[in-house]
Amino acid sequence: MPITLRPSQALRLWQQVGLAEVHGDAPDLTTRQMTILLTIYLDAPPHTVRGLAARLDVTKPVITRALDTMGALKLVSRHRDPLDRRNVLIKRTVEGALYVERFGDVIIARAAELPI
Protein backbone atom coordinates (compact mmCIF):
# COMPACT_ATOMS: atom_id res chain seq x y z
CA MET A 1 0.00 0.00 0.00
CA PRO A 2 1.53 3.36 -1.02
CA ILE A 3 2.22 5.97 1.62
CA THR A 4 0.61 9.33 0.96
CA LEU A 5 2.11 12.45 2.48
CA ARG A 6 1.22 16.06 1.97
CA PRO A 7 4.20 18.22 0.97
CA SER A 8 4.33 19.76 4.44
CA GLN A 9 4.42 16.28 6.02
CA ALA A 10 7.18 15.13 3.67
CA LEU A 11 9.24 18.21 4.49
CA ARG A 12 8.61 17.79 8.22
CA LEU A 13 9.73 14.15 7.97
CA TRP A 14 12.90 15.17 6.14
CA GLN A 15 13.55 17.84 8.78
CA GLN A 16 12.98 15.42 11.67
CA VAL A 17 15.24 12.76 10.17
CA GLY A 18 17.90 15.42 9.58
CA LEU A 19 17.62 16.62 13.17
CA ALA A 20 17.91 13.05 14.46
CA GLU A 21 21.07 12.60 12.39
CA VAL A 22 22.60 15.87 13.59
CA HIS A 23 21.82 15.02 17.22
CA GLY A 24 22.88 11.38 16.97
CA ASP A 25 26.26 9.75 17.39
CA ALA A 26 26.53 8.43 13.83
CA PRO A 27 28.45 10.51 11.30
CA ASP A 28 26.18 12.76 9.27
CA LEU A 29 26.73 12.54 5.54
CA THR A 30 26.00 15.14 2.92
CA THR A 31 22.96 14.60 0.72
CA ARG A 32 25.27 13.57 -2.13
CA GLN A 33 27.18 11.11 0.05
CA MET A 34 23.94 9.61 1.40
CA THR A 35 22.55 9.23 -2.12
CA ILE A 36 25.70 7.42 -3.22
CA LEU A 37 25.64 5.22 -0.11
CA LEU A 38 21.98 4.30 -0.57
CA THR A 39 22.59 3.55 -4.25
CA ILE A 40 25.37 1.15 -3.26
CA TYR A 41 23.20 -0.57 -0.64
CA LEU A 42 19.82 -0.57 -2.39
CA ASP A 43 20.79 -1.24 -6.00
CA ALA A 44 22.20 -4.61 -7.01
CA PRO A 45 25.99 -4.82 -7.32
CA PRO A 46 28.49 -4.65 -8.85
CA HIS A 47 29.16 -0.97 -8.28
CA THR A 48 32.04 0.91 -9.88
CA VAL A 49 33.14 4.52 -9.73
CA ARG A 50 32.30 4.85 -13.42
CA GLY A 51 28.89 3.22 -12.97
CA LEU A 52 27.96 5.35 -9.96
CA ALA A 53 29.03 8.52 -11.77
CA ALA A 54 26.81 7.61 -14.71
CA ARG A 55 23.87 6.61 -12.49
CA LEU A 56 24.00 9.86 -10.50
CA ASP A 57 24.99 12.00 -13.50
CA VAL A 58 28.08 13.41 -11.79
CA THR A 59 31.79 13.21 -12.53
CA LYS A 60 34.06 10.42 -11.36
CA PRO A 61 35.98 12.81 -9.04
CA VAL A 62 32.68 13.60 -7.26
CA ILE A 63 32.18 9.89 -6.59
CA THR A 64 35.81 9.43 -5.57
CA ARG A 65 35.65 12.25 -3.00
CA ALA A 66 32.46 10.84 -1.49
CA LEU A 67 33.96 7.33 -1.40
CA ASP A 68 37.07 8.71 0.32
CA THR A 69 34.89 10.01 3.15
CA MET A 70 32.72 6.90 3.34
CA GLY A 71 35.77 4.65 3.17
CA ALA A 72 37.36 6.48 6.10
CA LEU A 73 34.11 5.84 8.02
CA LYS A 74 34.23 2.16 6.94
CA LEU A 75 30.82 2.43 5.28
CA VAL A 76 32.19 1.08 1.97
CA SER A 77 35.43 -0.39 0.70
CA ARG A 78 37.14 -0.25 -2.69
CA HIS A 79 38.94 -3.03 -4.51
CA ARG A 80 40.44 -3.40 -7.97
CA ASP A 81 38.34 -5.58 -10.25
CA PRO A 82 40.41 -8.75 -10.76
CA LEU A 83 38.89 -9.19 -14.23
CA ASP A 84 39.59 -5.62 -15.37
CA ARG A 85 42.25 -3.86 -13.29
CA ARG A 86 41.11 -0.48 -14.65
CA ASN A 87 37.84 -0.76 -12.71
CA VAL A 88 37.45 -0.11 -9.01
CA LEU A 89 34.68 -2.13 -7.38
CA ILE A 90 32.79 -0.59 -4.49
CA LYS A 91 31.89 -3.13 -1.82
CA ARG A 92 29.43 -2.98 1.03
CA THR A 93 30.73 -3.39 4.59
CA VAL A 94 29.14 -4.62 7.79
CA GLU A 95 29.52 -1.13 9.28
CA GLY A 96 27.84 0.39 6.23
CA ALA A 97 24.97 -2.10 6.31
CA LEU A 98 24.37 -1.30 9.98
CA TYR A 99 24.51 2.44 9.24
CA VAL A 100 21.93 2.14 6.44
CA GLU A 101 19.66 -0.08 8.55
CA ARG A 102 19.83 2.35 11.48
CA PHE A 103 19.05 5.22 9.11
CA GLY A 104 15.98 3.35 7.88
CA ASP A 105 14.89 2.82 11.49
CA VAL A 106 15.21 6.57 12.13
CA ILE A 107 12.99 7.31 9.13
CA ILE A 108 10.37 4.82 10.33
CA ALA A 109 10.41 6.23 13.86
CA ARG A 110 10.11 9.82 12.71
CA ALA A 111 7.37 8.96 10.19
CA ALA A 112 5.35 7.36 13.00
CA GLU A 113 5.50 10.69 14.86
CA LEU A 114 4.04 12.71 11.97
CA PRO A 115 0.70 14.33 12.75
CA ILE A 116 -2.13 12.92 10.69
DSSP single-letter state for residue 85: T
**For all residues of the chain together, what is the average pLDDT?**
94
Can you give the pLDDT at residue 84? 85
Neighbouring CB atoms inside 10 A of 40's CB total 21
Tell me the percentage of the chain whose pLDDT exceeds 70.
Answer: 100
Q: Can you tell me the distance from the alpha carbon of 27 to that of 17, in angstroms, rounded to the nearest whole number?
A: 13
Q: Where are the domains of the chain?
A: 7-112
Nearest to 21 by CA among 96, 113, 105, 106: 106
Residue-wise pLDDT for 47-68, tens only, equals 999 999 999 999 999 999 999 9
Can you give the pLDDT at residue 114? 86
The CATH code for residues 7-112 is: 1.10.10.10
Q: Distance from CA of residue 97 to its chain's centroid?
A: 10
Residue-wise pLDDT for 59-101, tens only, equals 999 999 999 999 999 999 999 988 888 888 999 999 999 999 9
Residues near 70 by beta carbon (within 8 Å), at least 6 away in sequence: 29, 33, 36, 37, 76, 96
In b/e form, how buried is each residue of 49-76, taking b as 16+ CB within 10 angstroms? Answer: bebbbeeeeeeeebbeebbebbbebebb
